[in-house]
Amino acid sequence: MAHEVGADGQAQPSDGDAGGDGAAAGDGDAGAGGAAPAVPLRAALEAVLLVADEPVPETVLAQLVEHPPGMVADTVRALAAEYAEQARGFELRQVAGGWRFYTAPHCAPVVERYVLDGQQARLTQAALETLAVVAYRQPVSRGRVAAVRGVNSDGVMRTLVSRGLVEEAGADTETGATLYRTTAYFLERLGLQSLEELPSLAPYLPDVESVAEEAGTRR
What is the pLDDT at residue 34?
A: 55
pLDDT band at 211 (very low <50, low <70, confident <90, very high): very low
Tell me the Ramachandran region of residue 137: left when phi exceeds 0, alpha when psi lies from -120 to 50, beta otherwise: alpha
Encoded amino acid at 84, one letter: A
% of the chain with per-residue pLDDT over 90: 44
Alpha-carbon gap, residue 138 to 133, rounded angstroms: 8
- CATH 1.10.10.10 region(s) of the chain? 41-107, 125-208
Alpha-carbon gap, residue 152 to 158, rounded angstroms: 12
Alpha-carbon gap, residue 110 to 107, rounded angstroms: 6
What is the pLDDT at residue 153?
A: 86
In DSSP notation, 179-201 reads EEEE-HHHHHHHT-SSGGGSPPS
* Helical (H) or strand (E) element with 125: helix 125-137
Span 125-208: which CATH code?
A: 1.10.10.10
Helices 69-85 & 58-65 angle (0-180, nearest 10): 110
Does 138 score more than 90 pLDDT? yes
Alpha-carbon gap, residue 160 to 71, rounded angstroms: 39
Choice between 66 and 25, residue whose per-residue pLDDT is larger: 66
What is the pLDDT at residue 118?
A: 45
Does 75 score more than 90 pLDDT? yes
Write the pLDDT tens digit of every residue in 162-172. 888 999 999 98
Alpha-carbon gap, residue 170 to 178, rounded angstroms: 6
Least confident of 44-58, 91-105, 111-125, 174-188: 111-125
Encoded amino acid at 87, one letter: A
Alpha-carbon gap, residue 219 to 214, rounded angstroms: 9
Choice between 29 and 44, residue whose per-residue pLDDT is larger: 44
Encoded amino acid at 155, one letter: G
What is the pLDDT at residue 114?
A: 73
What is the arithmetic mean of pLDDT over 184-203? 85
CB neighbours (10 Å) of residue 160?
A: 22
Phi and psi angles of residue 2, each rounded to the nearest 5 degrees, phi first: -80, 145
User: Contact 55/99 with Cβ under 8 angstroms?
Assistant: yes
What is the pLDDT at residue 119?
A: 45
**Domain range 41-107, CATH class:** mainly alpha
